[in-house]
A and B are shown apart, each in its own frame.
Chain A
Protein backbone atom coordinates (compact mmCIF):
# COMPACT_ATOMS: atom_id res chain seq x y z
CA UNK A 1 0.00 0.00 0.00
CA UNK A 2 2.89 2.33 0.80
CA UNK A 3 4.41 1.92 -2.68
CA UNK A 4 1.03 2.44 -4.32
CA UNK A 5 0.61 5.60 -2.28
CA UNK A 6 4.00 6.92 -3.42
CA UNK A 7 3.16 6.24 -7.07
CA UNK A 8 -0.25 7.90 -6.83
CA UNK A 9 1.28 10.91 -5.07
CA UNK A 10 4.00 11.14 -7.75
CA UNK A 11 1.44 10.85 -10.58
CA UNK A 12 -0.75 13.61 -9.12
CA UNK A 13 2.29 15.81 -8.44
CA UNK A 14 3.36 15.52 -12.09
CA UNK A 15 -0.25 16.13 -13.23
CA UNK A 16 -0.20 19.47 -11.42
CA UNK A 17 3.30 20.41 -12.62
CA UNK A 18 2.15 19.76 -16.20
CA UNK A 19 0.34 23.10 -15.91
CA UNK A 20 3.76 24.77 -16.17
CA UNK A 21 3.82 23.71 -19.81
CA UNK A 22 0.21 24.66 -20.44
CA UNK A 23 -3.34 24.02 -19.19
CA UNK A 24 -4.32 20.41 -19.90
CA UNK A 25 -6.82 17.69 -18.85
CA UNK A 26 -4.40 16.06 -16.39
CA UNK A 27 -4.00 19.31 -14.48
CA UNK A 28 -7.75 19.98 -14.52
CA UNK A 29 -8.42 16.45 -13.23
CA UNK A 30 -6.01 16.86 -10.30
CA UNK A 31 -7.29 20.37 -9.55
CA UNK A 32 -10.92 19.23 -9.31
CA UNK A 33 -10.02 16.08 -7.41
CA UNK A 34 -8.23 18.24 -4.85
CA UNK A 35 -11.28 20.47 -4.42
CA UNK A 36 -13.60 17.48 -3.98
CA UNK A 37 -11.34 15.63 -1.55
CA UNK A 38 -10.73 18.76 0.51
CA UNK A 39 -14.47 19.30 0.89
CA UNK A 40 -14.98 15.63 1.80
CA UNK A 41 -12.21 15.91 4.36
CA UNK A 42 -13.74 19.07 5.86
CA UNK A 43 -17.16 17.39 6.12
CA UNK A 44 -15.74 14.40 8.02
CA UNK A 45 -13.59 16.47 10.39
CA UNK A 46 -16.27 19.06 11.06
CA UNK A 47 -18.63 16.27 12.10
CA UNK A 48 -16.09 14.51 14.32
CA UNK A 49 -14.29 17.55 15.76
CA UNK A 50 -17.15 20.08 15.58
CA UNK A 51 -20.68 18.72 15.70
CA UNK A 52 -20.02 15.71 17.95
CA UNK A 53 -18.08 17.49 20.76
CA UNK A 54 -19.97 20.78 20.55
CA UNK A 55 -23.52 19.61 19.92
CA UNK A 56 -24.02 15.88 20.37
CA UNK A 57 -21.93 15.19 23.50
CA UNK A 58 -23.32 18.03 25.72
CA UNK A 59 -26.91 17.07 24.91
CA UNK A 60 -26.19 13.37 25.42
CA UNK A 61 -24.53 14.12 28.77
CA UNK A 62 -27.50 16.24 29.86
CA UNK A 63 -29.97 13.51 28.90
CA UNK A 64 -28.01 10.74 30.66
CA UNK A 65 -27.56 12.95 33.73
CA UNK A 66 -23.75 13.08 33.47
CA UNK A 67 -23.96 16.88 33.58
CA UNK A 68 -26.55 19.22 35.09
CA UNK A 69 -29.74 20.11 33.26
CA UNK A 70 -28.02 23.39 32.36
CA UNK A 71 -26.41 21.37 29.57
CA UNK A 72 -29.72 21.74 27.75
CA UNK A 73 -28.84 25.44 27.33
CA UNK A 74 -26.60 24.25 24.50
CA UNK A 75 -29.79 23.46 22.60
CA UNK A 76 -30.23 27.19 21.93
CA UNK A 77 -27.00 27.69 19.90
CA UNK A 78 -27.48 24.26 18.28
CA UNK A 79 -30.94 25.29 17.05
CA UNK A 80 -29.47 28.58 15.85
CA UNK A 81 -26.72 26.70 14.02
CA UNK A 82 -29.24 24.37 12.41
CA UNK A 83 -30.83 27.43 10.81
CA UNK A 84 -27.85 27.46 8.42
CA UNK A 85 -29.55 24.52 6.69
CA UNK A 86 -32.35 26.96 5.71
CA UNK A 87 -29.97 27.90 2.90
CA UNK A 88 -31.23 24.75 1.14
CA UNK A 89 -34.69 26.28 0.69
CA UNK A 90 -35.18 29.48 -1.29
CA UNK A 91 -38.29 30.35 0.71
CA UNK A 92 -36.63 29.99 4.09
CA UNK A 93 -33.09 31.09 3.21
CA UNK A 94 -33.57 34.37 5.13
CA UNK A 95 -33.51 32.38 8.38
CA UNK A 96 -29.71 32.08 8.19
CA UNK A 97 -29.63 35.78 9.11
CA UNK A 98 -30.36 34.79 12.74
CA UNK A 99 -27.21 32.72 13.40
CA UNK A 100 -25.11 35.08 11.29
CA UNK A 101 -26.38 38.09 13.29
CA UNK A 102 -25.66 36.34 16.59
CA UNK A 103 -22.14 35.35 15.46
CA UNK A 104 -21.48 38.90 14.23
CA UNK A 105 -22.71 40.36 17.51
CA UNK A 106 -20.64 38.01 19.69
CA UNK A 107 -17.49 38.36 17.54
CA UNK A 108 -17.74 42.15 17.40
CA UNK A 109 -18.43 42.41 21.11
CA UNK A 110 -15.45 40.23 21.97
CA UNK A 111 -13.19 41.91 19.45
CA UNK A 112 -13.64 45.61 20.32
CA UNK A 113 -12.07 45.74 23.82
CA UNK A 114 -9.36 43.15 23.07
CA UNK A 115 -8.33 44.66 19.73
CA UNK A 116 -8.13 48.10 21.37
CA UNK A 117 -5.64 46.70 23.87
CA UNK A 118 -3.66 44.56 21.43
CA UNK A 119 -3.49 46.62 18.28
CA UNK A 120 -3.94 50.20 19.45
CA UNK A 121 -2.71 50.78 23.02
CA UNK A 122 0.09 48.19 22.96
CA UNK A 123 1.31 49.40 19.56
CA UNK A 124 1.33 53.06 20.61
CA UNK A 125 3.12 52.07 23.82
CA UNK A 126 5.65 50.15 21.73
CA UNK A 127 6.26 53.17 19.49
CA UNK A 128 6.75 55.65 22.33
CA UNK A 129 8.24 53.21 24.86
CA UNK A 130 11.89 53.64 23.81
CA UNK A 131 11.69 57.37 24.68
CA UNK A 132 11.09 56.57 28.35
CA UNK A 133 14.49 54.87 28.51
CA UNK A 134 16.23 57.09 25.98
CA UNK A 135 19.15 57.73 28.35
CA UNK A 136 20.09 54.07 28.27
CA UNK A 137 19.92 53.74 24.46
CA UNK A 138 22.90 53.76 22.11
CA UNK A 139 23.09 56.33 19.29
CA UNK A 140 22.07 53.60 16.84
CA UNK A 141 19.02 52.69 18.92
CA UNK A 142 18.01 56.37 19.24
CA UNK A 143 18.08 56.66 15.44
CA UNK A 144 15.89 53.54 15.30
CA UNK A 145 13.43 55.03 17.81
CA UNK A 146 13.16 58.28 15.81
CA UNK A 147 12.77 56.33 12.57
CA UNK A 148 9.98 54.29 14.13
CA UNK A 149 7.89 57.34 15.12
CA UNK A 150 8.51 58.99 11.74
CA UNK A 151 7.59 55.79 9.90
CA UNK A 152 4.41 55.11 11.87
CA UNK A 153 3.16 58.73 11.61
CA UNK A 154 3.95 59.00 7.89
CA UNK A 155 2.37 55.61 7.09
CA UNK A 156 -0.77 56.55 9.02
CA UNK A 157 -0.87 59.90 7.21
CA UNK A 158 -0.83 58.09 3.88
CA UNK A 159 -3.91 56.11 4.98
CA UNK A 160 -5.67 59.25 6.26
CA UNK A 161 -8.06 60.04 3.43
CA UNK A 162 -10.24 62.62 5.21
CA UNK A 163 -7.74 65.37 4.35
CA UNK A 164 -6.62 66.22 0.83
CA UNK A 165 -3.00 65.18 0.28
CA UNK A 166 -1.53 68.58 -0.67
CA UNK A 167 1.36 70.66 0.64
CA UNK A 168 3.10 69.27 3.76
CA UNK A 169 0.57 66.42 4.05
CA UNK A 170 1.55 65.25 0.55
CA UNK A 171 5.22 65.29 1.57
CA UNK A 172 4.57 63.33 4.77
CA UNK A 173 2.39 60.89 2.88
CA UNK A 174 5.16 60.39 0.29
CA UNK A 175 7.55 59.43 3.09
CA UNK A 176 4.84 57.04 4.28
CA UNK A 177 4.76 55.43 0.82
CA UNK A 178 8.54 54.96 1.01
CA UNK A 179 8.17 53.10 4.33
CA UNK A 180 5.35 51.01 2.89
CA UNK A 181 7.48 50.08 -0.13
CA UNK A 182 10.25 48.90 2.18
CA UNK A 183 7.66 46.92 4.13
CA UNK A 184 6.28 45.30 0.97
CA UNK A 185 9.78 44.66 -0.35
CA UNK A 186 10.70 42.77 2.80
CA UNK A 187 7.42 40.85 2.55
CA UNK A 188 8.28 39.89 -1.04
CA UNK A 189 11.77 38.77 -0.04
CA UNK A 190 10.35 36.56 2.70
CA UNK A 191 7.55 35.27 0.47
CA UNK A 192 10.13 33.96 -2.00
CA UNK A 193 11.59 31.89 0.85
CA UNK A 194 8.14 30.46 1.62
CA UNK A 195 7.26 29.51 -1.93
CA UNK A 196 10.68 28.02 -2.59
CA UNK A 197 10.31 25.89 0.55
CA UNK A 198 7.23 24.22 -0.89
CA UNK A 199 8.94 23.56 -4.20
CA UNK A 200 11.99 22.05 -2.49
CA UNK A 201 9.74 19.70 -0.50
CA UNK A 202 7.95 18.49 -3.64
CA UNK A 203 11.14 18.03 -5.64
CA UNK A 204 12.67 16.21 -2.67
CA UNK A 205 9.66 13.87 -2.72
CA UNK A 206 9.98 13.24 -6.45
CA UNK A 207 13.75 12.60 -6.32
CA UNK A 208 14.19 10.81 -3.01
CA UNK A 209 10.66 9.63 -2.18
CA UNK A 210 9.61 8.37 -5.59
CA UNK A 211 12.60 7.92 -7.94
CA UNK A 212 14.63 6.76 -4.92
CA UNK A 213 12.33 3.74 -4.61
CA UNK A 214 12.88 2.79 -8.27
CA UNK A 215 16.63 3.23 -8.69
Chain B
Protein backbone atom coordinates (compact mmCIF):
# COMPACT_ATOMS: atom_id res chain seq x y z
CA UNK B 1 0.00 0.00 0.00
CA UNK B 2 2.71 2.44 0.99
CA UNK B 3 5.20 1.67 -1.76
CA UNK B 4 3.72 -0.45 -4.53
CA UNK B 5 0.42 1.37 -5.12
CA UNK B 6 2.05 4.78 -5.73
CA UNK B 7 4.51 3.15 -8.15
CA UNK B 8 1.68 1.45 -10.05
CA UNK B 9 -0.31 4.71 -10.18
CA UNK B 10 2.72 6.60 -11.48
CA UNK B 11 3.33 3.94 -14.15
CA UNK B 12 -0.30 3.84 -15.29
CA UNK B 13 -0.77 7.60 -15.52
CA UNK B 14 2.60 8.05 -17.24
CA UNK B 15 2.02 5.35 -19.84
CA UNK B 16 -1.53 6.52 -20.58
CA UNK B 17 -0.30 10.08 -21.18
CA UNK B 18 2.45 8.92 -23.55
CA UNK B 19 0.18 6.58 -25.53
CA UNK B 20 -2.71 9.02 -25.85
CA UNK B 21 -0.29 11.71 -27.05
CA UNK B 22 0.29 9.71 -30.24
CA UNK B 23 -3.29 8.66 -30.93
CA UNK B 24 -5.62 11.12 -32.67
CA UNK B 25 -8.72 9.01 -31.81
CA UNK B 26 -11.45 11.05 -30.12
CA UNK B 27 -11.59 8.76 -27.07
CA UNK B 28 -7.82 8.91 -26.74
CA UNK B 29 -7.76 12.69 -26.93
CA UNK B 30 -10.65 12.93 -24.44
CA UNK B 31 -8.68 10.73 -22.03
CA UNK B 32 -5.57 12.89 -22.50
CA UNK B 33 -7.58 16.05 -21.82
CA UNK B 34 -9.34 14.57 -18.77
CA UNK B 35 -6.14 13.31 -17.15
CA UNK B 36 -4.31 16.58 -17.85
CA UNK B 37 -7.29 18.23 -16.15
CA UNK B 38 -6.81 15.94 -13.15
CA UNK B 39 -3.19 17.04 -12.93
CA UNK B 40 -4.35 20.64 -12.96
CA UNK B 41 -6.89 20.00 -10.17
CA UNK B 42 -4.31 18.29 -7.96
CA UNK B 43 -1.60 20.94 -8.50
CA UNK B 44 -2.90 23.73 -6.16
CA UNK B 45 -2.96 21.25 -3.29
CA UNK B 46 0.85 21.11 -3.52
CA UNK B 47 0.83 24.55 -1.84
CA UNK B 48 -0.53 22.84 1.28
CA UNK B 49 2.82 21.07 1.63
CA UNK B 50 4.76 24.33 1.39
CA UNK B 51 2.54 26.24 3.80
CA UNK B 52 2.41 23.43 6.37
CA UNK B 53 6.20 23.05 6.30
CA UNK B 54 6.74 26.78 6.79
CA UNK B 55 4.24 26.96 9.66
CA UNK B 56 5.81 23.94 11.36
CA UNK B 57 9.33 25.40 11.00
CA UNK B 58 8.44 28.74 12.59
CA UNK B 59 6.21 27.18 15.24
CA UNK B 60 9.14 24.98 16.31
CA UNK B 61 11.42 28.04 16.43
CA UNK B 62 9.00 29.77 18.77
CA UNK B 63 8.49 26.71 20.97
CA UNK B 64 12.23 26.11 21.36
CA UNK B 65 12.99 29.81 21.81
CA UNK B 66 15.90 29.59 19.37
CA UNK B 67 17.95 32.72 18.65
CA UNK B 68 15.80 35.44 16.98
CA UNK B 69 12.62 33.41 17.63
CA UNK B 70 10.69 36.65 18.02
CA UNK B 71 10.92 37.19 14.25
CA UNK B 72 8.91 34.00 13.70
CA UNK B 73 6.04 35.86 15.37
CA UNK B 74 6.45 38.53 12.69
CA UNK B 75 6.07 35.77 10.05
CA UNK B 76 2.77 34.68 11.62
CA UNK B 77 1.66 38.30 11.99
CA UNK B 78 2.26 39.01 8.29
CA UNK B 79 0.53 35.80 7.24
CA UNK B 80 -2.54 36.38 9.42
CA UNK B 81 -2.89 40.00 8.29
CA UNK B 82 -2.93 38.98 4.62
CA UNK B 83 -5.34 36.08 5.17
CA UNK B 84 -7.72 38.23 7.22
CA UNK B 85 -7.62 41.01 4.61
CA UNK B 86 -8.03 38.74 1.62
CA UNK B 87 -9.97 35.63 2.52
CA UNK B 88 -13.42 37.02 3.44
CA UNK B 89 -13.86 39.34 0.44
CA UNK B 90 -11.37 38.02 -2.09
CA UNK B 91 -8.16 39.33 -3.65
CA UNK B 92 -9.95 42.32 -5.21
CA UNK B 93 -10.74 43.84 -1.82
CA UNK B 94 -9.07 47.29 -1.50
CA UNK B 95 -7.43 46.43 1.87
CA UNK B 96 -5.79 43.33 0.41
CA UNK B 97 -4.62 45.22 -2.68
CA UNK B 98 -3.33 48.08 -0.51
CA UNK B 99 -1.25 45.70 1.60
CA UNK B 100 0.11 44.01 -1.51
CA UNK B 101 1.05 47.26 -3.28
CA UNK B 102 2.45 49.14 -0.29
CA UNK B 103 4.03 46.43 1.81
CA UNK B 104 4.70 43.26 -0.14
CA UNK B 105 5.80 44.71 -3.50
CA UNK B 106 8.28 47.27 -2.09
CA UNK B 107 9.88 44.71 0.22
CA UNK B 108 10.13 42.00 -2.42
CA UNK B 109 11.57 44.37 -5.03
CA UNK B 110 14.03 45.91 -2.55
CA UNK B 111 15.19 42.52 -1.34
CA UNK B 112 16.21 41.50 -4.86
CA UNK B 113 17.65 44.92 -5.70
CA UNK B 114 20.27 44.31 -2.97
CA UNK B 115 21.87 41.98 -5.49
CA UNK B 116 22.93 44.98 -7.60
CA UNK B 117 25.23 46.06 -4.76
CA UNK B 118 26.58 42.57 -4.18
CA UNK B 119 27.14 41.94 -7.88
CA UNK B 120 29.25 45.14 -8.07
CA UNK B 121 31.23 44.15 -5.00
CA UNK B 122 31.73 40.59 -6.30
CA UNK B 123 32.80 41.90 -9.72
CA UNK B 124 35.49 43.99 -8.04
CA UNK B 125 36.76 41.30 -5.68
CA UNK B 126 36.38 38.03 -7.55
CA UNK B 127 36.29 38.77 -11.28
CA UNK B 128 39.96 38.09 -12.00
CA UNK B 129 41.64 37.02 -15.25
CA UNK B 130 43.57 34.25 -13.48
CA UNK B 131 43.23 31.63 -16.23
CA UNK B 132 42.41 31.50 -19.94
CA UNK B 133 38.82 30.40 -19.18
CA UNK B 134 38.34 33.12 -16.57
CA UNK B 135 39.67 35.70 -19.04
CA UNK B 136 37.18 34.54 -21.68
CA UNK B 137 34.33 34.84 -19.18
CA UNK B 138 35.47 38.28 -18.08
CA UNK B 139 35.94 39.65 -21.59
CA UNK B 140 32.56 38.33 -22.74
CA UNK B 141 30.84 39.83 -19.72
CA UNK B 142 32.45 43.22 -20.36
CA UNK B 143 31.55 43.20 -24.09
CA UNK B 144 27.94 42.23 -23.33
CA UNK B 145 27.70 44.90 -20.61
CA UNK B 146 29.04 47.60 -22.93
CA UNK B 147 26.75 46.38 -25.72
CA UNK B 148 23.72 46.43 -23.45
CA UNK B 149 23.91 50.13 -22.68
CA UNK B 150 23.29 53.05 -25.03
CA UNK B 151 26.53 54.67 -23.87
CA UNK B 152 28.33 51.72 -25.50
CA UNK B 153 26.99 52.70 -28.91
CA UNK B 154 27.81 56.32 -28.19
CA UNK B 155 31.45 55.43 -27.55
CA UNK B 156 31.77 52.83 -30.33
CA UNK B 157 28.94 53.49 -32.81
CA UNK B 158 27.30 50.19 -33.85
CA UNK B 159 30.36 48.15 -32.85
CA UNK B 160 29.31 47.71 -29.20
CA UNK B 161 25.79 46.42 -29.81
CA UNK B 162 26.86 44.38 -32.86
CA UNK B 163 29.62 42.65 -30.89
CA UNK B 164 27.12 41.84 -28.11
CA UNK B 165 24.60 40.53 -30.61
CA UNK B 166 27.23 38.37 -32.36
CA UNK B 167 28.28 36.79 -29.06
CA UNK B 168 24.69 36.05 -28.10
CA UNK B 169 23.83 34.70 -31.58
CA UNK B 170 26.91 32.49 -32.00
CA UNK B 171 29.13 31.16 -29.19
CA UNK B 172 26.50 31.79 -26.52
CA UNK B 173 23.88 30.04 -28.63
CA UNK B 174 26.13 26.99 -29.15
CA UNK B 175 26.91 26.68 -25.45
CA UNK B 176 23.25 27.11 -24.47
CA UNK B 177 22.15 24.56 -27.06
CA UNK B 178 24.69 22.07 -25.72
CA UNK B 179 23.27 22.64 -22.23
CA UNK B 180 19.66 22.31 -23.46
CA UNK B 181 20.44 19.04 -25.26
CA UNK B 182 22.29 17.64 -22.24
CA UNK B 183 19.68 18.72 -19.70
CA UNK B 184 16.76 17.51 -21.84
CA UNK B 185 18.30 14.11 -22.46
CA UNK B 186 18.83 13.84 -18.70
CA UNK B 187 15.27 14.97 -17.91
CA UNK B 188 13.75 12.58 -20.44
CA UNK B 189 15.73 9.60 -19.15
CA UNK B 190 14.84 10.57 -15.58
CA UNK B 191 11.15 10.73 -16.54
CA UNK B 192 11.38 7.24 -18.08
CA UNK B 193 13.01 5.98 -14.87
CA UNK B 194 10.21 7.59 -12.81
CA UNK B 195 7.46 6.01 -14.91
CA UNK B 196 9.14 2.60 -14.79
CA UNK B 197 9.55 2.85 -11.02
CA UNK B 198 13.37 2.76 -11.12
CA UNK B 199 13.65 6.29 -9.70
CA UNK B 200 11.71 6.37 -6.42
CA UNK B 201 13.31 9.21 -4.47
CA UNK B 202 10.14 11.32 -4.77
CA UNK B 203 8.41 8.84 -2.45
CA UNK B 204 10.53 10.14 0.40
Give me 17 other A-B pairs in contact (C-beta within 8 A), A9-B105, A81-B44, A148-B174 excluded. Answer: A17-B114, A32-B78, A36-B77, A42-B47, A43-B83, A44-B91, A50-B43, A101-B10, A111-B191, A119-B184, A144-B169, A181-B134, A182-B175, A185-B137, A185-B138, A185-B140, A202-B110
Given B13, B143, B174, B188, which contacts A116 in the complex, CB threshold below 8 Å? B188
Given A19, A44, A114, A201, which contacts B114 in the complex, CB threshold below 8 Å? A19
User: Cβ of B170 and Cβ of A103 under 8 Å apart?
Assistant: no
Q: Closest approach, in angstroms, between the C-beta of B83 and any C-beta of chain A?
A: 5
Question: Which residues in A have their C-beta under 8 angstroms from that of B34?
Answer: 73
Given A5, A102, A116, A198, which contacts B98 in the complex, CB threshold below 8 Å? A5
Given B82, B114, B137, B164, which contacts A37 in the complex, CB threshold below 8 Å? B82
User: Cβ of B90 and Cβ of A48 under 8 Å apart?
Assistant: yes
Given B12, B96, B113, which contacts A201 in the complex, CB threshold below 8 Å? B113
22 CB contacts below 8 A, A to B, read A12-B106, A17-B114, A31-B111, A33-B107, A39-B54, A44-B82, A73-B34, A80-B38, A103-B39, A105-B10, A110-B17, A110-B21, A111-B191, A119-B184, A151-B174, A155-B178, A158-B178, A180-B175, A188-B141, A189-B164, A193-B145, A195-B112
Least CB separation from A124: chain B residue: B181
Chain B residues proximal to chain A, CB less than 8 Å: 2, 5-7, 9-18, 21-22, 34-54, 68, 71-72, 74-83, 86-87, 90-91, 96, 98-117, 119, 123, 132-134, 136-145, 147-148, 164, 167-185, 187-188, 191-192, 194-195, 202-204
Least CB separation from A40: chain B residue: B82
A163 at the interface (CB under 8 A from B): no
Which of B46, B174, B180 has the most CB atoms of chain A within a 10 A radius of its CB? B174
Given known pairs A99-B42, A147-B171, the reply for A189 and B141 (CB within 8 Å) is yes
Given A29, A39, A127, which contacts B79 in the complex, CB threshold below 8 Å? A39
User: Cβ of B9 and Cβ of A16 under 8 Å apart?
Assistant: no
Question: Which residues in B have their C-beta under 8 angstroms from that of A152?
Answer: 174, 177-178, 181
Q: Closest approach, in angstroms, between the C-beta of A170 and any C-beta of chain B?
A: 14
Secondary structure call for the A interface: helix
A169 at the interface (CB under 8 A from B): no
Q: Chain A interface: which size bin?
A: 35 or more
Among A23-41, those with CB < 8 Å from B are 28-41
